[in-house]
């Protein structure tokens, strides 16, 4: 009799858990209020309750887990050690981010401790762990090389963050200088110059052409400043709305690759990102077609992503990866030749990694050169514009002094 009651109690718990995970509002049996049921309820809420951490924080977490596994710990104690490390953070500024990571690690540890896999636990956080991350962890678990896979993931994330940061620095600094320069010029033309030019107009004298041009531009800016601001904001909003469609985004990404100075930089960045990710996936044991699907999610440029679809289609029809890359017409010839040579030597992963290293170096050098060129160029243009304004203001004063 006692055994049958236990069986019925177990069945009641299982049914209650099933109804909870299915989204029903059925009242739970008292016996279902166990730790396991609480974990199931938490599994339903947690994907929406946890915000996405920064990539560098996720990278540090991955490398620390790999170091703990390398030291000889198994997954559950390693996750417990990571949780203790995250909970020991005392800096108020970092507290929120670290607490967020601590919540994630705690649920990962509980899921693995309950008999699940680390990849399965990570898959429950699609806003934190990308499909690339989850599939690589699953491949590492299946092959018994989880430690090595985590190291590769950490290396890949670090390089991605570092490379993207250098490109952003190369683009952001000149852009900010340009914005500041334009703001200064607009302020001068709208609020400073009108007060000075009114004096020249009241003198009823023939003014030099630079002064007349300055007065015309200043008058236009003064009377239509609000309209210009509204039109500019409306244009930016319309452009952002248009880029939400796939066709407009494809056109914008194609034009981005054809920019005079930055087009090559953007293409090299995409090639470095996709070849390193593809090399990491293939080294971890992921099949080539599945790896291309995952790499497509990493690529930011939709035009390059479509080229990857072409590569995948060619491979599925029987072409090798080198020929498939060449048929796109997008990648430089050196990418094809290195890939073909590596494929002939049965070492495609190392060939792709070499391509990524080569373009990492090229991106760094290109970003450094662009920064060194654009900074003086912006300063020169700013100096010319401000110099013209000063000259246009001083020329009538010089003429008046000569007459007097």
From 75, 108, 129, the end of a domain falls on 129
Same domain, 77 and 179: no
Which two structure tokens, joined as six digits, stand for 162? 């570092």
Question: Are 163 and 212 within one domain?
Answer: yes
> Are 247 and 312 found together in one domain?
yes
Is residue 20 assigned to a domain?
no
**Residue 103 has what pLDDT?**
84
Are both 192 and 248 inside the same structural domain? Answer: yes
pLDDT of residue 46: 46
Residues 177, 110: one domain?
no
Which pLDDT belongs to residue 58? 84
Does residue 269 sit within a domain?
A: yes
pLDDT at 44: 37
Domain of 214 in residue numbering reads as: 159-404
What does the pLDDT profile of the chain (404 residues) look like in tens digits?
343 443 334 334 333 333 333 333 333 333 333 343 344 334 434 444 456 777 788 888 888 888 888 888 888 888 888 888 887 764 454 454 557 788 888 888 888 888 888 888 888 888 888 887 888 888 888 877 888 888 888 888 888 788 777 777 777 777 888 888 888 888 877 777 777 777 777 777 777 888 888 888 888 877 787 888 888 888 888 877 777 777 777 888 888 888 887 888 888 888 888 888 888 888 877 888 888 888 887 788 888 888 888 888 888 888 888 888 888 888 888 988 898 898 888 888 888 888 988 988 888 888 788 777 877 888 888 888 888 888 887 887 777 666 55
Q: Which of 112, 129, 146 is the last residue of a domain?
A: 129
DSSP string of 80-119?
HHHHHHHHT---HHHHHHHHHHHHHHHHHHHHHHTT--HH
Asked if residue 10 belongs to a domain, the reply is no
Give yes or no: residues 183 and 288 share one domain: yes
Examine the domain organization and report whether 101 and 197 are in the same domain: no
**Tally of structural domains, the chain:** 2
Query: Looking at residue 27, what is its pLDDT?
Result: 37
DSSP annotation of 191: I
Same domain, 298 and 350: yes
What's the distance, CA 249 to chain centroid? 16
CA 44 to chain centre: 28
User: Please, which residues have CB within 8 angstroms of residue 96's CB and are 6 or more apart in sequence?
Assistant: none
Question: Distances from the Cα of 5 to the Cαs of 1, 8, 12, 40, in angstroms?
Answer: 6, 5, 10, 24
255 and 333 in one domain?
A: yes
In a domain, 37, yes or no: no
Residue 34: its pLDDT value, please? Answer: 38
Examine the domain organization and report whether 259 and 384 are in the same domain.
Answer: yes
182 and 118 both lie in a single domain: no
In a domain, 1, yes or no: no
Residue 312 counted as domain residue: yes
Residue 404's pLDDT is what? 55
pLDDT of residue 35: 40
pLDDT computed for residue 402 by the predictor: 67
Burial of residue 24 (number of CB atoms within 10 Å: 0-12, 13-18, 19+): exposed
CA dihedral 233, 239, 245, 250 (to 10 degrees): -150
115: alpha, beta or left, given left = phi > 0 and alpha = psi -120 to 50?
left
Shared domain for 116 and 165, answered yes or no, is no
Domain-located, residue 66: yes
Q: What is the pLDDT of residue 149?
A: 84
pTM: 0.65
Residue 103 to residue 91: CA distance in whole angstroms: 17
Buried b / exposed e over 6-18, threshold 16 CB at 10 Å, is eeeeeeebeebbe
């Amino acid at each position: 009799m006692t055994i049958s009651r236990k069986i019925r109690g177990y069945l009641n718990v299982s049914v209650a858990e099933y109804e909870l995970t299915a989204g029903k509002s059925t009242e739970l049996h008292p016996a279902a209020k166990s730790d396991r049921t609480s974990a199931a309820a938490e599994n339903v809420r947690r994907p929406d309750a946890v915000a996405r951490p920064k990539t560098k924080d996720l990278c540090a977490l991955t490398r620390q887990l790999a170091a703990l596994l390398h030291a000889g710990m198994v997954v559950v104690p390693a996750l417990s050690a990571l949780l203790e490390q995250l909970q020991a953070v005392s800096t108020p500024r970092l507290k929120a981010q670290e607490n967020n990571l601590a919540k994630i690690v705690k649920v990962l540890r509980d899921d693995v401790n309950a008999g699940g896999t680390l990849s399965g636990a990570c898959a429950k956080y699609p806003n934190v762990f990308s499909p690339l991350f989850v599939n690589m962890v699953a491949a590492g678990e299946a092959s018994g090389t989880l430690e090595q896979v985590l190291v590769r993931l950490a290396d890949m994330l670090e390089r991605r963050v570092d490379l993207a940061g250098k490109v952003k620095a190369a683009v952001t600094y000149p852009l900010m200088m340009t914005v500041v320069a334009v703001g200064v010029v607009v302020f001068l033309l709208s609020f400073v110059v009108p007060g000075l030019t009114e004096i020249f107009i009241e003198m009823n004298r023939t003014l030099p052409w630079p002064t007349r041009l300055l007065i015309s531009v200043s008058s236009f800016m003064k009377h239509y400043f609000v309209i210009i601001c509204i039109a500019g904001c409306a244009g930016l909003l319309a452009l952002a709305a248009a880029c939400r469609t796939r066709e407009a985004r494809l056109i914008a990404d194609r034009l981005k690759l054809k920019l005079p100075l930055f087009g090559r930089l953007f293409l090299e960045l995409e090639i470095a990102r996709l070849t390193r990710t593809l090399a990491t996936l293939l080294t971890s044991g992921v099949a080539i077609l599945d790896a291309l699907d995952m790499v497509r999610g990493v690529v930011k440029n939709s035009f390059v992503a479509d080229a990857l679809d072409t590569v995948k289609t060619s491979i599925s029809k029987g072409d090798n990866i080198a020929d498939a890359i060449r048929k796109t017409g997008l990648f430089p010839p050196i990418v094809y030749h290195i890939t073909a040579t590596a494929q002939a030597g049965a070492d495609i992963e190392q060939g792709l990694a070499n391509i990524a290293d080569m373009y990492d170096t090229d991106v760094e050098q290109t970003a450094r050169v662009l920064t060194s060129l654009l900074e003086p160029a912006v300063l020169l243009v700013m100096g010319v514009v401000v110099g013209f304004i000063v000259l246009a203001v001083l020329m009538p004063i010089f003429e008046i002094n000569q007459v007097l």
